[in-house]
Structure 1
Amino acid sequence: MNGPEIHVAFAPELDLFVPQGRRGRTTEVGTDGVSTLGHVVESLGVPLTEVGALLVDGRRVPVSHVPAAGESVAVRPVARPQQVPGAPLRFLLDVHLGTLARRLRLLGVDTAYESTDIGDPALAARSAAERRVMLSRDRGLLRRRELWAGAFVYSTKPEEQLRDVLDRFAPRLLPWTRCTACNGLLREAAKEEVADQLEGGTQRTYDVFAQCRDCGRAYWRGAHHEQLDAIVQEALSLRGGQAG
């Protein structure tokens, strides 16, 4: 783009995506008089999934706005908590976010996860077909127009990833109700129903079990329960201690 110039300033929250030389200041960007403002913003490195309000000379405009010479553009981050209209809040995570997927499921959040790399087109198509918010650190994937909705996962640490997703979307939490392996719903189960999955020590020690309605996996409060419960309690504390 080397036509009429506009002036673009990004909010500090978007610095991760902005080239070093454009951070913290207004920069001049050439336009072609045809491309939308959304296209211009993405060409500067910022996925539209991370963009909230677009202000042109102080007035809010849609991403379809075609900028004119001399306009001043302020790019704001997504407001939190983010509203995703038109569908129950559900997520889809790519192959790199397995731990985050298991933790969201632990909290009872409907979370689909691809354990193999099925490719960006297939992920985007599933997001659209199932109306799931795509969570990823792949900026190229988040730029695909087929996505139902998407969000960049800012941290590489699972505990920080979880806090960020909970803060951004404020999903309903129903801990201990989903299978962390397949996302199916759990039901109470008698010991006899899951006996074939239990070792001798577990059979003697535990009496309360749950089982996944979909894959049949058995659950009980075993050696790792305290660690998992700490994750649950921290998540609930972010919601004022309330589930649901």
Structure 2
Amino acid sequence: MNGPEIRVEFAPELRLFVPRARPTGTTGATADGVSTLGHLVESLGVPLTEVGTLLVDGREVPRGHVPAGGESVRVGAVTHPQRVPGAPLRFLLDVHLGTLARRLRLLGVDTAYRSPDPGDPALAALSAAERRVMLSRDRGLLRRRELWAGAYVYSTRPEEQLREVLARFRPELRPWTRCTACNGTLAPATKDEVADQLKGGTERSYDVFARCRDCGRAYWKGAHHEQLEAIVERALAQSVRDGA
């Protein structure tokens, strides 16, 4: 290393971002007397969306603190629940989180999703324009300065991803109120109003329907309803446990 060194310790949740800090969670870094602590932490691999309290020699400092040689830094993780001030809680998911997007919509959570992928600049701009929390596993996307807010999704499994998001943000759940296809809101509909979307067996077997106000898609308690009901019940139970 060139220049004075500082010691940086990462919370256990953040160590996956910094391979060189494993297994102790600590690594050395160079203090150049110019770069901020936020910049240094990000350069080591941790998205700032995941950073909580920063301690330097035991005292809390802002991300704009310029570290000096010999200091010891501890990088904490974001605390749960994470509150997002200034706007209703809404999400934007990248193209790799389609299943998570559908499940959040199933729970009535306002969730935007774009496929095909419009690209990082467009997603960051949309996050800012609509004040949506960007959920992604793309660290590069989460480092874009235009983002209004963001969060890294740690798991690759949709079930665990949903638990993560619910635990971290504790959104209000209103199951069965949003279209899982487009995020529009649902309204009750008569069989006649959705007849053009029904096949013979469905038309004979079901009498209760809803329709998306935006895209017109029809919904009813079909063959997969039990699976969807199980997802909803688990989410509601988690919400009670978490105190949302």
TM-score band, normalised by shorter chain = over 0.9
Residues matched between the structures, number:
244
Partner SS, residue 203 of structure 2: helix
Partner SS, residue 97 of structure 1: helix
TM-score normalised to structure 2 length = 0.96
Moved more, 153-162 or 232-241: 232-241
Counterpart position of 2:18 = 18
Distance in 1 (alpha carbons) for counterparts of 2:174 and 2:25: 43
Q: Tell me how far 1:21 sits from its aligned partner.
A: 4.3
Partner SS, residue 81 of structure 1: coil
1:185 touches 1:212 (CA, 8 Å); kept in 2?
yes
1:208 aligns with 2:208: yes
2:11 touches 2:25 (CA, 8 Å); kept in 1?
no
Report the AA paired with residue 107 of structure 2. L
User: Cα deviations across residues 154-210 of structure 1 (Å, max 9, x unaligned)?
Assistant: 111100100000011100000000000000000001111000000011111100000
Q: Which runs of 5+ in 1 are unaligned?
A: none
Counterpart position of 2:224 = 224
Partner SS, residue 96 of structure 2: coil
Alpha-carbon distance change, 243 to 218 in structure 1, aligned in 2, over 3 angstroms: farther
Q: Which runs of 5+ in 2 are unaligned?
A: none
Identity %: 77
Report the AA paired with residue 222 of structure 2. G
TM-score normalised to structure 1 length = 0.96
Distance in 1 (alpha carbons) for counterparts of 2:6 and 2:241: 47
Counterpart position of 1:56 = 56
Report the AA paired with residue 14 of structure 2. L
1:195 aligns with 2:206: no
Distance in 2 (alpha carbons) for counterparts of 1:39 and 1:70: 18
Counterpart position of 2:143 = 143
1:10 touches 1:23 (CA, 8 Å); kept in 2?
no
1:93 aligns with 2:86: no
2:5 touches 2:28 (CA, 8 Å); kept in 1?
yes
Q: Tell me how far 1:20 sits from its aligned partner.
A: 3.9
Alpha-carbon distance change, 103 to 27 in structure 1, aligned in 2, over 3 angstroms: same
Q: Tell me how far 1:40 sits from its aligned partner.
A: 0.2
Report the AA paired with residue 225 of structure 1. H
Q: CA RMSD for the aligned pairs?
A: 1.6
Distance in 2 (alpha carbons) for counterparts of 1:168 and 1:218: 32
Report the AA paired with residue 148 of structure 1. W
